[in-house]
């Protein structure tokens, strides 16, 4: 299996910890271990008492229960804990896809969502969300994209990099299509809980469709990327077993302190998500005021922590900002976009200072 370089992660490897103003991060502002433990009385003592042996491959039972608490239908044994959300993307595509299978992927996107399937030997077809359509997917395009070989449909909502949310009728139409064709629905929901308008909060795919996999992580909505805790939730117990067996060749099990801290976080998920949403909303307001006078346009995101802006010669402009001002936006081509587009991250407390540096 030969994977192409992960463009965005190579870009971050160069710039994330070197630039003065990181303006493209998709993970929301983090916190200290002490601040997280303060949410749960007695948890600091538990952390100090935590033994550091191997942990359970499926994940700590308390953590699996906390993950199940994020869904309406899924039970703890229908969850599987991984190291971040990246690992389960790799595991799922390897376990489910065979060379020659078809996979239809929501684009633009986070690269691994199409790259791993391609490297496994599957035929990947892009399902394009168009800017003219508010970056929304059109379910009427699905019959043309899917053949009898298609096995998996991949969607991401709230979406990276556009901040679009697949809501109501569109989401129902996608589920209906997958059910009629017997397709796996791999639903990347790592920004779930960051819908800007909580009224339109999406159902999780795993709660409404028996062949759906919902992907989650502590990294984005909860601002705890350094825990490296992610998961999948699915009603399909056989799939959980196959993924757990594949994980034996990856990380085997998670870090014990990471799982303990993730359990504390998910017990208080509403408060952590509200903190991130508030920050994203405030930064979006700042960016709206900033954008037009600087020749920047964008479709207003309705969820997630990022937006996909464009400006004539956007990539060149971003390169200049990086070199002259230490301001870092992520070029659109890293998500399959064109050279005018760039990703803006809205989840950090340093956002206003970055805009000032550009001014």
Quick check: 189 binds ligand PLP (CB under 6 A)?
no
- In the complex, what is the shortest distance from the CB of residue 91 to ligand PLP, in angstroms, rounded to a whole number? 12
Q: Which of 55, 86, 202, 305 binds ligand PLP (CB under 6 A)?
A: 86
Of 82-90, 120-128, 252-260, 347-355, which part binds ligand PLP (CB under 6 A)? 82-90
Crossing angle of the two packed helices 112-120 and 86-96, in degrees rounded to 10: 30
State which residue, 81 or 290, has the beta carbon closest to ligand PLP: 81
State which residue, 188 or 195, has the beta carbon closest to ligand PLP: 188
Give ∠ CA 49-51-57 in degrees, rounded to 5.
130
Of 79-87, 120-128, 241-249, 280-288, which part binds ligand PLP (CB under 6 A)? 79-87
Quick check: 219 binds ligand PLP (CB under 6 A)?
yes
| Alpha carbon distance 359, 357 (integer Å) | 5
- In the complex, what is the shortest distance from the CB of residue 156 to ligand PLP, in angstroms, rounded to a whole number? 5
State which residue, 156 or 317, has the beta carbon closest to ligand PLP: 156
| Alpha carbon distance 39, 115 (integer Å) | 38
State which residue, 42 or 249, has the beta carbon closest to ligand PLP: 249
| Alpha carbon distance 159, 142 (integer Å) | 18
Cross-strand partners of 22: 328
Phi and psi at 344, nearest 5°, equal -115, 130
Quick check: 188 binds ligand PLP (CB under 6 A)?
yes
Quick check: 58 binds ligand PLP (CB under 6 A)?
no
Of 201-209, 217-225, 287-295, 327-335, which part binds ligand PLP (CB under 6 A)? 217-225
| Alpha carbon distance 220, 75 (integer Å) | 23
Q: Which of 19, 225, 250, 256 binds ligand PLP (CB under 6 A)?
A: 225
Residues numbered 144-163 forming contacts with ligand PLP, rule: CB under 6 A: 156, 160
| Alpha carbon distance 40, 138 (integer Å) | 43
Number of residues binding to ligand PLP, judged by CB under 6 A: 13
State which residue, 178 or 190, has the beta carbon closest to ligand PLP: 190
- In the complex, what is the shortest distance from the CB of residue 27 to ligand PLP, in angstroms, rounded to a whole number? 7
Give ∠ CA 79-82-87 in degrees, rounded to 5.
120
Which residue minimizes CB distance to ligand PLP?
84
Q: Which of 67, 68, 85, 205 binds ligand PLP (CB under 6 A)?
A: 85
The beta-carbon contacts of 284-290 under 8 Å, at least 24 apart in sequence, are: 284/196, 284/346, 286/351, 286/352, 286/355, 287/344, 287/346, 287/351, 287/355, 290/355, 290/358, 290/359
The 110-139 contact track toward ligand PLP, x by CB under 6 A, reads x-----------------------------
Quick check: 250 binds ligand PLP (CB under 6 A)?
no
Neighbours of 14 (CB within 10 A): 10
State which residue, 106 or 211, has the beta carbon closest to ligand PLP: 106
Sign of the dihedral through C-alpha 170, 174, 176, 177? positive
- In the complex, what is the shortest distance from the CB of residue 330 to ligand PLP, in angstroms, rounded to a whole number? 10
Quick check: 190 binds ligand PLP (CB under 6 A)?
yes
Quick check: 202 binds ligand PLP (CB under 6 A)?
no
- In the complex, what is the shortest distance from the CB of residue 174 to ligand PLP, in angstroms, rounded to a whole number? 17
Residues in the site for ligand PLP, rule: CB under 6 A?
Answer: 26, 84-86, 110, 156, 160, 188, 190, 217, 219, 225, 230
């Amino acid at each position: 299996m030969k994977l192409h370089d992960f463009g965005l992660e190579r870009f971050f490897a160069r710039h994330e910890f070197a630039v003065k103003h990181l303006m493209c991060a998709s993970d929301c502002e983090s916190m200290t271990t002490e601040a997280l433990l303060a949410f749960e009385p007695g948890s600091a003592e538990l952390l100090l008492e935590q033994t550091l042996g191997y942990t359970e491959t499926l994940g700590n039972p308390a953590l699996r229960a906390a993950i199940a608490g994020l869904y309406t239908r899924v039970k703890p044994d229908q969850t599987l804990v991984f190291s971040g959300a990246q690992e389960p993307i790799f595991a799922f595509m390897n376990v489910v896809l065979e060379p020659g299978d078809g996979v239809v992927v929501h684009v633009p996107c986070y690269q691994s969502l199409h790259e791993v399937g391609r490297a496994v030997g599957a035929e990947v077809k892009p399902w394009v969300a168009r800017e003219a359509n508010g970056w929304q997917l059109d379910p009427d395009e699905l019959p043309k994209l899917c053949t009898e070989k298609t096995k998996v449909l991949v969607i991401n909502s709230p979406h990276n990099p556009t901040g679009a949310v697949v809501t109501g009728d569109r989401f129902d139409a996608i589920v209906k299509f997958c059910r009629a064709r017997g397709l796996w629905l791999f639903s990347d929901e790592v920004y779930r809980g960051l819908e800007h308008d909580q009224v339109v909060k999406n159902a999780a795919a795993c709660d409404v469709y028996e062949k759906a996999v919902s992907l989650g992580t502590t990294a984005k909505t909860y601002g705890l990327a350094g825990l490296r805790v992610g998961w999948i939730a699915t009603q399909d117990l056989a799939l959980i077993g196959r993924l757990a067996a594949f994980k034996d060749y990856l990380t085997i099990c998670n870090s014990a302190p990471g799982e303990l801290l993730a359990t504390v976080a998910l017990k208080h998920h509403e408060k952590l998500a509200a903190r991130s949403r508030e920050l994203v909303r405030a930064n979006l307001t700042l960016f709206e005021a900033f954008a037009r006078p600087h020749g920047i346009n964008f479709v207003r995101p309705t969820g997630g922590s990022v937006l996909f802006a464009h400006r004539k010669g956007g990539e060149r402009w971003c390169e200049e900002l990086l070199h002259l001002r230490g301001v870092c936006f992520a070029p659109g081509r890293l998500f399959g976009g064109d050279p005018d587009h760039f990703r803006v991250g809205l989840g950090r407390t340093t956002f206003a200072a970055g805009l000032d540096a550009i001014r």
